[in-house]
Structure formats: structure tokens, C-alpha cells
Chains A and B, each alone.
Chain A
Amino acid sequence: MPDSGIGAAVKRREDFRFITGRGRYVDDINRPGQLYASFVRAPIAHANVRGIDTAEAEKAPGVVAVFTGEDLEADGVGSLPCGWVVTDKHGEPHKAPPHWPLVRGKVRYVGDHVAVVIAETLAQARDAAELVEVDYEDLDPVVDLAQAGEGAQLHDEAPGNLCYDWELGDKAAVDAAFEQAAHVTKLDLVNNRLIPNAMEPRAAIGEYDVGSDSYTIYSTSQNPHLLRLILCAFVLNLPEHKVRVVAPDVGGGFGSKIYAYAEETVCTWASKKLNGKPVKWTAERSESFLSDAHGRDHVTHAELAMDAEGKFLALKVDTKANLGAYLSSFATAVPTYLYATLLAGQYATPAVHCNVRGYFTSTAPVDAYRGAGRPEATYVIERIVEVAARDMKMDPAELRRKNFIQPDQFPYQTPVALVYDIGDYEPTLDKALEMIGYRDFAQRRAESEARGKLRGIGFSAYIEACGIAPSAVVGSLGAGVGLWESAQVRFNPTGSVSVFTGAHSHGQGHETTFAQLVSEKLGVPYEQIDIVHGDTGQIPMGMGTYGSRSLAVGGSAIVKACDKIVEKGKKIAAHLMEASVDDIEFDGGQFKVAGTDKAKGIGEIAFTAYVPHNYPEGVEPGLDETAFYDPLNFTYPAGVHIAEVEVDPDTGETKIVDWVAVDDFGKVLNPMIVEGQVHGGIAQGVGQALLESAVYDDSGQLVTGSYMDYTMPRADDFCEFRVGMTVSECTHNPLGVKGCGEAGAIAAPAALMNAITDALGAEIDMPATREKVWRHAQAKLKAAAE
């Protein structure tokens, strides 16, 4: 095992600053002369705004300015765009009503941005925000997704609150297959709405510099270049070369920090208005609950057709997806292209059809949250397969095995557009069964029963499409951007290396893994490699981090840049050693003349490149290469998670007693970091299944607006996780990697709900709260007694 290259569990170099309190998050940054923004937010879900009286607030101590949507409108500030056009089943683009950073005439969810107060201190801004008088004319809210089509209309552009009615797959083939079916399993499912809750609340500082007519924005962003592009090209009409976005240490994202939000937009705009005074805003947690983009929120009916032996013939799925009050940056794509395309799962189901209707409701915007569409797809498939096994009285593991896509079928064209390049599902299942001790489950169940407890086991054989994404493919599906990644690898004259990546680390440990990668590729000691990310002023370009893409796409860009370095290094080495370029081999940091013992270290080559006194003709000085990598396909991580639970029928408590995760992420760079990603993902998936749920009441008030009402998973909700791996290397990127960031969150909800419903012998929806579990456990005991 190498000690710092590919495959080594190198301890993270970023940790030192975090464990000593020297991290630098946006709220830790203070700019000279900075002012503070506080937003006036809608207290009701749907209303016309008849007037906003800012006079009292303007007079309050310390207040510098109060702005409303009218001020932004007068300055030509645009709408926050949605970057993905979904074409509905009639060939029409989705309905795209405007999303103004500060409302114009109407509020559409509790927390909507009505005005901003800017003052010398935060306390003054908050106090004055209370003094802004808004005259509202109440309108009916639209809260219930199932009824969203019948409610009051939120946007003139969207009759029936319908954003799109979209489908994927061959409906005729599916209908024909259902006619042939020996058995059909049907299931209704709710995929509960979640609030991402990265522990660092969103924050922004907008700073305009009068002298240079340029802007610096400090933002808690997962993708600083993308934020810059959106703000410049669509919202604020700024020249991109005059705007620098810095996303320093960011305390978790999980999707919620991908998007361009109202707050950073307004702070940036206001700083110019106020002659270059920096304007800072940091969310209070209650603001995060109200206005971070939420996740999931589907209502689904699914049917699975099988032959008499349990072979899957067809799957049909009908989903209503909640998009919230406005379309967040990638909202439209999540319940369509990131969801329905995954409905084949790991199975060779010949026909799949999915219909999705996306609705506007008077709730916070909904967008990608860890997994984004793929957890919803896995939940549908893995729940219905489990229920089918129960219907057919078959072993759930064996029913899955029977339907797996076989190794010789790859590359495998699914009936829902994707082509899986590689996978090997059976060994992964076998390993998981072995690890959990499946053969002895019946015995463990009997032991639990003897203690008055109900034991259950649940499987989830998930698949995801990661390494997002081949630009031409997503472009043909409506994406407004390319999803390549860039890297710049720069040797310094003394032989150390600075690497600039467009990926952004907000917990993933890129500073460590990317340095491992470069060390392996260039043979430079790990300690002499520095990774720079999160600053558009330093990094050539970038698309950021989400969709488990950093290594598969960003890492591949680094490999390409390293290859260019080696190519150029060979020319310099050939010159110095008076050999032909074709005879130069590169290995472990040494350029060697093949078949001789002549060699030059890469450090000497770098020095020569910057002090080119004895140098090949026609070669530019310097050793600094940039590469862009556009993936050829998605990657397809897959695996099997098995959860074992024990339910206490007296209290309704569900105890997770064992958890096994076996994942195939392709090649693994740093197993310690990969396992950490799996743990964190499982915890979020368990949170969804057991504890978390965003609830709006009938009037559209967010009932779960703080940690007192929204139950976050705590340490004592879990057992130890047992993680195993199998490896089938991705065939189309230079590293053979697939991505690991979302797997746990994708796999876990179905595994846990399958285990709980197995224990209860009854169907329930997420979250499996104590009360629900207790009711069904009691009913089961009662039925058994009768």
C-alpha cells in the first residue's frame, strides 16, 4: 500500500485548521466599513403586497438604507433563473415564472424576500426590519401537493400551478407487458420533504470597489464560478471579468449551496448602491429553515409487473413533484432527468414508463438535496421490489438476484435513456449478505421476539448516475450549462506544485485526495503539492461540486493537465540528455532515456523550464498546464445496503441494530475519506426515513422551522456502520472512479423502511415516527393474539 498515493488512507491535511479553530468560513470574514443586511420576510404564504412603508425603518438608528423590489426593478435587476429547460410531453418548455430577488407585488411562501434593511450593526438592521410595515391582502395558500392542481393560482404563467407534465419511457410497451403479467404489485409512496441543514448557515458579503469598478463576493457556495455566471449573465448584468467570487471554507452543502439565492444577489447589488460599502448577511438558522432550497417532496404511485417466477416485465410510475413557490437554479431537472432515468435500478426490467407532474406550491423552493432525484428513484424501486417479494412469498434477496443485469450485458442500455458502462451486482449482494449474516437472521429474529421485540431486515440495491455530466447529453436534455471541469497544474521553479481546481470542497477533503492524485501522477512528494479551490480570481474556470462529480470529472481534468505536464517535460528532458523525445519514459517523477541509466528528475525539469538557459528550440518556457475534462458518460456507482432493526412495541422506538453497506465506487483514492462519505450519507438517509420531515400547516406556515421541531439525527440514533467494497472500475474516465458522495443518502431510506415494514408487517410512509411505529406494532401484536 502506498503511503500517500492512490489507495492510501492519508489523514486529511485540511483538518489542522479546523481542529484548532482556524477555519475561515464566510461569517468569519469581516471587511472594513462593512454594513449588515437583514431581510424582511413574508409572514404569510400567499398574498398581494399592497404597499410597503419603510419610513419608520429608515429613521431608525444606524440604518443606512431600506430597499424593496421596486428599487431593484428600477435598476434593471433581473430574475433568478432556472438553468434547465424541461420539455413537457406536448413539446412545450416548462412554465418559468419570474423569481425576483425581492418580491414585486406578491409573496408566495413564508420567508419570501419582501425588503432588505441595511444598517451599521446587525442588531440595528434586525431591529429596523421589524419596523417595515407591509400591507398584505391575503390569498389562499397552496400547500397540499396532491391537491395543488385545484388550488389558487400562484403565477399568471402557470395555470393549475402546473410547471410541466413530463414523461419518459415507452408507454405502449409497458401497457403491453402489464397485460401479460402473472402478478402486479402496486404501491403508493410519499417521499417526505427535507430541509438540508448544512451546519454552517448560508452567508454572503457583497463588496463593490469604486476605484476598479469591480466586485468581490464572499459566498457559502458549492460552485463559485457558476454563481458568478448566473449573477453576471442573468440577474445583475455585471461584466464577468469584473466579478470575483470567493467561497472559502464552507460548512457543508448537500446541494443547498449550489443555487444563486436572493441574499447574495441583494448584498452585491446594494454594495454598489452604497458606494462600495461591503454588505454582509448571515442566515439565522430559522432563516435557513424558511429559505434554503428544500429537498425531495414527491407523491408517487408505482406498479411492477412480473411473470409467475418473479421476473420483472415492466414498471410504471406516476409522480407528483413539489417544486415550491419559485424555480430554484436546477429545480426542474431533479424530479425528471435525475429521477426517472434511474428507474431501471440494477434490474433488467425490459420496459419502464414514468410520468411526472411538477407543481408550484406556496412553500419554499425545492431543489437538489444530497442524491437529488436518485434517492427518490431508489426509494420507489427498492420499496416496490421488497413489497413484490412479500406478495410473491419470495426471498427479497433472491428476487433481486433473479432480476439483476448480468455482467455480460454491459454496456447496458436501460429503457429510460441511460447506458450503464459497467457493474457487477451479484458479488456485491453476496458480500452484503455474508457481512450481515443473513443465514442466521431467523434466529436473531426469534431471539428478539423472545425479548418482546419485533425484528426486521431490509435491503436496498441502489444505483446512481454520478460524475455529472457529459455536456452534450445534458445539453440535449435542456441543461443551460456544460458540466465539464477544469484543472490547472503549475510547477513552481523550485519544484513544488500548485493545483487549481474548479471543484469545491466543503467537507469532501479535496485538498488531501487531489494532492494524492497529483503526487502519484507526477512523482512529486505529497507535501510539495498544494490544492487551491473556491476562488474565481485564482482558478481558470469551474463547475463546482455536486452530483458526486469532483473526482470523476474534476480529478480527470487534473489527470489530463498532469499528462500535458509530462508531455512537455519529455521535450525538455530529451534536450538536456541529448536524446530523442520518443525515447523518453516517465515514471515515478523521473524522465529516463529508455534502455540507459540516464535520468532527470521532474524538479530539475521544472527548474529548467523557468530558467531556460539551456533549452529546446521552439518550446515555451514555464511548466504550467490547464486542462478541461468533459465526461463521456455518467458513472454508475451501485451497491447493496442492508439494515436490521428492532422495534419496541411498547414505546414505538426503532433501534437500528446493524447496518451493512457494500458499495462499488470503482477505484478508490482514499478509503478513509470514502468511508466517511458513506457514513454521512447513511446518516442523512436514516434521518429521512426515521426522523426528518418538513411540515407546512394548512395556512402555509412552516411548522418544523427550528431544531426543536425538525428532528435532526443525533449520535445516539445510530449503531456503528459496517462498510465493505467491491470494485468494477469505470470504463470511460482515466481514473476508473465513480463517485461516492451521495450513495449513502440514496441507499439508506429504502433499506431502513424495508426493515421497519418487515418488522411491523405493515406499510408506512417516511418518516417512521415513534407514534406510527407504535400503532402498527400494537396492531400486529393484537392480531397475533387473536
Chain B
Amino acid sequence: MNLTLKVWRQRGPQDKGRMVTYRVEDVSPDMSFLEMLDVLNERLILEGDDPIAFDHDCREGICGMCGMVINGYAHGEQVATTTCQLHMRHFEDEAVITVEPWRAAPFPVVKDLVVDRSSFDRIIQAGGFISVPAGSAPDAHSVPVKKADADAAFDAATCIGCGACVAACPNGSASLFTAAKITHLSLLPQGQPERDSRARAMVEQMDAEGFGGCTNTGECTASCPKGIPLDTIAQMNRDYLRASK
């Protein structure tokens, strides 16, 4: 396959940045999107050019590092897929592909496609934990948890903190991420003691970071590689209202 890429290049946080067009030839349809960028980068290095900076780590869809906006879609148009798991066979030969970083004020660009997602870390630090000394794993079933709650908590816990929800949201809201973390803990016994303070602290931190407000557009869920459901946002709102009473 031969492709034309339009990639956001930005030397550093202060640089204004611009789209730069590259031609990539002989791309195998079995390559992942990141491998295709690797091939381009090797060429750029050989040509003495600066390679395109992008984040990645596991390359197996579980770490949440590899976010980029492809043709306007966070992690590309393919649903429930991280960029590292997106294969080139989903693109047509001679396609023109735009590649941009997540766009949100609380995710400042570090370089090219790399953004700083520390704002997510601060939301977690505000309350996304339990302070009980839990010791080693308790015996199974010593504390009964309803199957439905266990499943929903597990689903919420699959959030990998990639930030695609923010990138896809027309409001730049971090509600799906924050809601996934709150829901995960508030459905389980361990999460109960700090349930109210957690909801309040995490929602307030999310707002303080400068994320937009949620208008329930659902674009987050649609682009989330883990398919975190919108119901988590209702759960977050429920917990937050309960805590504000």
C-alpha cells in the first residue's frame, strides 16, 4: 500500500506547530498503525530528519499510551481499538490520512503527537483509591458481591486511561474517564467508606483541570477502546449528587 500522511509536527510545547505531509510507500496491510509510523520514522532518521514523536508502550492495547487522532477519530474509526491494535488493512491504498494529537487544554502537547496526560493522574490522586490497608487477597467469597455489580465494576475497571474519551468529546470533557474510575470503586465493598468524598474530590479535580462539561453526547463511549458505557457517567452523577446532599 502507498499512503499520504498529514501529520501534526510541533517541536515543543511553545512551538506553534503545523501539519506536514509525508509519502509512505510499500506499507504492508498487516502492519499496525504504529509500525507504519516506525517505518516512516526510520526513513526520516536516515534522511537526517527529526522522527515523529508518539507515545506507545505495550503495543497490545492494554497500557493506554498510544493515543492519536486519525482522520478526526480518536484511535481511528475502527471501534473498540487502540491505535497500536489498528491495522493498515482498514485503510485503502492511496488513502490520505491525517494524524493529530489529542486536542484538549488539560492535555498540552509535549512534542508532535505526544501529549501530557498528568491531569488524569491528578484526578486519580484526588480520590481514585481506597485507603484501607487491604493486606493480601482475601478468601474468595468472604465478602459477597452481586454478580451484576462485580461485572459492572470489572467493566469500568478496564479503562486504560488513554484519554480518547476527552479527545473525542465535542466538549473536551473527561467525564467518561472519571466516571469509570468512580464506578469501579463505588460498586465494590472496598470502595464504600470513601464513596462520597471520592466522588466529590474527583469531580472537583476534573473541573479544576479545565476539562469541559458533559452534555451526554456519547462520543466518548463510541471511541473508547474499552467500550466503557455511558451508564458510568450516570453512576458518577448519582454519587456526586448523593455526596452533595
Query: Real complex partners, A and B?
Result: no
Chain A interface (Cβ < 8 Å from any Cβ of B) = none
